[in-house]
Amino acid sequence: MNEEKFTGKADVYDKYRPTYTAELIDWLYEKTHAETVADIGAGTGIFTKCLSAKPWTVTAVEPNADMLEKLRANLPDVEIVNAPAESTGIVSASVDLVTAAQAFHWFDKEKFMAECKRIFTPNGRLAVIWNTRTETDMQKERNEIFLRTAGQYDSVKGNANVDSRFVNADGEFAPEKYFSEYERVSFLQSMKMDREQYVGCEMSRSYAPKKGTPLYDVQLDELTRLFEKYQKGGIVDVPYKTDCFLGRF
């Protein structure tokens, strides 16, 4: 139901979205000793590329046609499956580690759990991963811009397909409700962005107006003014926290 959210945004998504720390990949590798990994909702392959630093066999799964085209161009040597998260077509009992980076919130949580159970090897685990920006004055003003200019932002809040069974009182993912057991790890990173990178990253959001639609130019102008307000030497420092929940069902 969310497969078209990023149609028309693959190029800007691929060019401007932040990557993930090498420390996270090291941690996953040491914790799981996985030989086979399925990166579900792989998008343009940002996290899939990070996974390729280790000697496991990686399969990337992505349903959106635009993102899939970019994914194939970026990672021609990776096995790629055009399928939704809830029905991947991957062989049963063949995957040691499933990853969902910046994607789990789009899935049907119950159906995805069933699919993971189907493709898991006996010790299979799921890693749910998000890059989130930490709260700063600039981030608060950015949120106000989106509330004014992005029609879906107020309801989406970066957490689509909210399932009350698997969230806490604040509407955030509650791993203790989804997994039978889990571990959590967090890493901090700072992204230094010039104006093109900052504005491009924000315009890659699923809820950002698409080019040629109402409010696109308005949001573009407001984000540009926001960048100019906070930039120093043509650069803004955008702090991110990467959270990973590694669990079993």
Q: DSSP string covering 114-153, please?
A: HHHHHHEEEEEEEEEEEEEEPP-HHHHHHHHHHHHH-TTH
Can you tell me the distance from the alpha carbon of 205 to that of 143, in angstroms, rounded to the nearest whole number?
Answer: 12
- Give the domains, in start order, of the chain with CATH numbers: 10-134+158-192+238-248 (3.40.50.150)
154-192 burial, b if ≥16 CB within 10 A, otherwise e?
A: eebeeebebeeebbeeeeebbbeebbeebeebebebebe
pTM: 0.90
Q: Which two tokens stand for residue 5?
A: 């959210």
Name, in order, each residue with C-beta under 8 angstroms of 28's C-beta and a sequence gap of 6 or more: 34, 97, 99, 127, 244, 246
CA distances from 195 to 133, 141, 216, 229, 248 (A): 17, 16, 17, 11, 41
Whether the Cβ atoms of residue 59 and residue 79 lie closer than 8 Å to each other? yes
Nearest to 5 by CA among 103, 82, 116: 103
pLDDT of the chain, 249 residues: tens digit per residue: 456 667 778 888 989 999 999 999 999 999 999 999 999 999 999 999 999 999 999 999 999 999 999 999 999 999 999 999 999 999 999 999 999 999 999 999 999 999 999 999 999 999 999 999 888 999 999 999 988 877 655 544 444 455 778 988 877 899 999 999 999 999 999 999 999 999 999 998 888 888 888 888 999 999 999 999 999 999 999 999 999 999 999
Can you tell me the distance from the alpha carbon of 157 to that of 32, in angstroms, rounded to the nearest whole number?
Answer: 32
Can you tell me the distance from the alpha carbon of 160 to that of 7, in angstroms, rounded to the nearest whole number?
Answer: 16
The whole-number pLDDT of residue 231 equals: 98
Q: What is the DSSP letter of 94?
A: -
Nearest to 112 by CA among 46, 176, 166, 49: 166
In which element (H, E) is residue 249 found?
Answer: none
Can you tell me the distance from the alpha carbon of 206 to that of 5, in angstroms, rounded to the nearest whole number?
Answer: 6
